[in-house]
Structure 1
Amino acid sequence: MRAVRITKTGGPEVLAVTDVDTPKPAAGEILLRHEAIGLNFIDTYQRSGLYPIPLPSGLGTEAAGVVAAVGPGVTRFAVGERAAYVTRTLGAYAELSTVSANEAVKLPAGIDSRIAAAALLKGLTAEALLRRTHNVGPNDRVLIHAAAGGVGQIMVQWAKRLGAEVIATVGSEAKADQARKLGADHVILYRDADVAAAVMKITGGKGVTVAYDSVGKDTFEGTLGSLATRGLFVSYGNASGPPPPMLSSQFARGSFFFTRPSVYHYIATPEELDTSAAALFDVIGTGVVSVEVGQTYPLEDVRLAHEAMASRTTLGASLLIP
């Protein structure tokens, strides 16, 4: 089968498509023939070395397709069923992969494999952030950075359904239009504006209950300055680089909470995974959340896909198609 491998960290040029043996599922595993593979920003962190991984290695942590084989002891899936997975084990950039049956979910009839691969990790992340990191409701004002990105698009729509007032930040006018179409109440171009000042103007000086920041270094100060008293700063990504260390001068601004969640800690058991996925598939299936697949690339064009993600010019989710 064809699969992407890296032997050293670096830019997109280190990605190589090669022929490897098709794996066989061990006890408790399934073999999934991929129909679509999700691309996520964390993939670029692992490729570049920002998040160290053992080498040589595959890349990718989510995909959707059809179960081609099951290992001993698997009762959660049968051959021929449609499934999708999110896992910490790298290797989804391939035609097939093995994965623990406990890390995969069955796909409802109305959820296309491309939508599942585009939405699963991003949607489970959104579910955890909006419903469990902070239980967003009608009394909340929320700040969502990178609102036109894969996670951001889902979060804007879902937060609106939960009744929140949504302040979105984006990097361009085109993305601002997209955020408005998704339902954002206010949109800020974070490269051109003082985000904290804009948020305080929008909120009458009160700030936001919770701020979701996946950008990191470039937005850190603006996010911190946008919080209400006892507001929650949720840092869950580093698209522009790692955020700076917190200083005592920042603590002096007043009472606030800071958290650095990982989605895997919110789907640590099959029961948690199934519950989170069911909530996601429900909002997709009922039309509350529309998932945009903005870009698709053949597996052989994986370098182009990473270049596009790194440029932060993509809209919506990106997929590899084996």
Structure 2
Amino acid sequence: MARTVILSAAGGPENLEVVDRPVGEPGPGEVRIAHRACGLNFIDIYQRTGLYPMQLPHPLGMEAAGVVEAVGDGVTHLKPGDRAAYAANPPGAYAEARVMPAAQVCPLPDEIAFDQAAAMMLKGMTVEYLFHRTTPLTAGDTVLFHAAAGGVGLIACQWARSEGITLIGTAGTDEKCRLALDHGASHCINYRDAGWVAKVRELTGGKGVDVVMDAVGADTFEGSLDSLKPLGMLISFGNASGPVPPFNIGILGQKGSLKVTRPTLFTHIADHDACQAMAGHLFDKVVKGAVEIRIDQRFPLEQVADAHRALEARQTTGSTVLEL
């Protein structure tokens, strides 16, 4: 049996319940992992509220780290006793232990602590695909990154610095802006200032940025388009303020032949080899010290509802973990 967080019905954090649940044995292609820490992400909120529908009741959580207890037939990259971490479907990471598909579970280097790994797998591999698998980015390019003081944002700030990319961040308070700057952002703008688009233009000499990376969604979409240079790309990868409403695609031509894409991490990691390569790239950045994983909030598993409230209210910085 393992303590597991179950979502009983779509809605508020009060619908999250901690129950004892049987774990079972791994079948072919599966692994049983005993967690040491679990990570929180906005996708958990999207699933909890029903924005991303699931068949309910269902366990929640998309990333965790721990020790492999058993492997099923056909699993060759992991063995019992291995340290491991993952970001993967199906949800179920808010638990002491679980059985899950093994393909997206990654061997964890000894140099990386379990809580670090639980805080970085989904966020860090998201940054990896944003910078390396979505559109070509090279040293000297300029990126606008919204929510730069969040879990994904602070990794992105450091990643950009390590790649020689100029990152202009936005954040909701001056304190969060300072945090982004401390982690490698070249500039940071308080997006509650109505003139943030003009500030982006000023910082780029009127040209605009090469790429916008936007996980905020509805509140920033139009300003993100207006921050791009001609032929620039908007990567819309989240909906923290709500989903982007329908828009006239012709506006992309009017604003400079712009490009828009809506990728997800889970498309990128669906292939086992690609997932392992992405995780390896992330691990290398962390082990070499180019990226530091900042954990600013810790909650016991039983306080998962409070953790959701804090994340949803944008009261957090860096990453949040559930401790077991």
Q: CA deviation at 1:75?
A: 2.1
Secondary structure in structure 2 of the residue aligned to 1:209: strand
Q: CA deviation at 1:311?
A: 0.5
Secondary structure in structure 2 of the residue aligned to 1:102: coil
1:224 has 2:256 as partner: no
CA distance in 2, matches of 1:249, 1:233: 15
CA distance in 2, matches of 1:73, 1:276: 22
1:63 has 2:67 as partner: no
Q: Supply the AA of the counterpart residue of 1:236.
A: F
Identity %: 47
CA distance in 1, matches of 2:322, 2:50: 21
Contact 1:25–1:69, Cα closer than 8 Å, also in 2? yes
Secondary structure in structure 2 of the residue aligned to 1:130: helix
Residue 160 of structure 1 aligns with which residue? 161
- Of 246, 256, 259, the match for 2:258: 256
Structure 1: state its 5+ residue gaps.
Answer: none
My pick for the range that moved more, 261-270 or 216-225, is: 261-270
Tell me the alpha carbon deviations over residues 87-145 of structure 1, each in whole angstroms, 9 at most, x when there is no partner.
11011111101121211100011011111110111110100000111232223111000
My pick for the range that moved more, 296-305 or 135-144, is: 135-144
My pick for the range that moved more, 151-160 or 249-258, is: 249-258
Count of aligned pairs between the two proteins: 322
CA distance in 1, matches of 2:247, 2:141: 25
CA distance in 2, matches of 1:249, 1:108: 48
Q: Supply the AA of the counterpart residue of 2:303.
A: D
Contact 2:230–2:255, Cα closer than 8 Å, also in 1? no
1:94 has 2:95 as partner: yes
Contact 2:160–2:184, Cα closer than 8 Å, also in 1? no
CA distance in 2, matches of 1:293, 1:197: 33
Q: CA deviation at 1:19?
A: 1.2
Q: List, as ranges, runs of 4+ consecutive aligned residues in structure 1 with deviation greater than 4 Å.
A: none
Q: CA deviation at 1:195?
A: 2.3
CA distance in 1, matches of 2:184, 2:90: 35
1:196-275 to 2 correspondences below 5 Å: 196-247=197-248, 250-251=251-252, 252-275=254-277
Q: Supply the AA of the counterpart residue of 1:64.
A: A
1:57-136 to 2 correspondences below 5 Å: 57-136=58-137
My pick for the range that moved more, 57-66 or 250-259, is: 250-259
Q: CA deviation at 1:249?
A: 6.4
My pick for the range that moved more, 146-155 or 17-26, is: 17-26
Secondary structure in structure 1 of the residue aligned to 2:193: coil
CA distance in 2, matches of 1:77, 1:61: 19
1:7-18 to 2 correspondences below 5 Å: 7-18=8-19
Q: Supply the AA of the counterpart residue of 1:61.
A: M
Contact 2:229–2:256, Cα closer than 8 Å, also in 1? no
Residue 320 of structure 2 aligns with which residue? 318
CA distance in 2, matches of 1:291, 1:87: 19
Secondary structure in structure 2 of the residue aligned to 1:231: strand
CA distance in 2, matches of 1:285, 1:87: 22
Tell me the alpha carbon deviations over residues 224-253 of structure 1, each in whole angstroms, 9 at most, x when there is no partner.
100000000000000000112222563322
CA distance in 2, matches of 1:52, 1:248: 26
Contact 2:143–2:165, Cα closer than 8 Å, also in 1? yes
CA distance in 1, matches of 2:172, 2:42: 16
CA distance in 2, matches of 1:277, 1:73: 21
Residue 25 of structure 1 aligns with which residue? 26
Cα RMSD of the aligned pairs, angstroms, is: 1.1
Q: Supply the AA of the counterpart residue of 2:191.
A: Y
Structure 2: state its 5+ residue gaps.
Answer: none
Q: Supply the AA of the counterpart residue of 1:30.
A: V
Secondary structure in structure 1 of the residue aligned to 2:200: helix
Contact 2:148–2:157, Cα closer than 8 Å, also in 1? yes
Q: Supply the AA of the counterpart residue of 2:94.
A: Y
CA distance in 2, matches of 1:65, 1:28: 18
Tell me the alpha carbon deviations over residues 174-196 of structure 1, each in whole angstroms, 9 at most, x when there is no partner.
10110110111111100123222
Q: CA deviation at 1:217?
A: 0.8
1:29-44 to 2 correspondences below 5 Å: 29-44=30-45
1:303 has 2:301 as partner: no
Q: Supply the AA of the counterpart residue of 2:262.
A: R
Secondary structure in structure 2 of the residue aligned to 1:129: helix
CA distance in 1, matches of 2:174, 2:84: 37
Contact 1:136–1:159, Cα closer than 8 Å, also in 2? no
My pick for the range that moved more, 141-150 or 19-28, is: 19-28
Q: Supply the AA of the counterpart residue of 1:161.
A: S
CA distance in 2, matches of 1:218, 1:194: 14
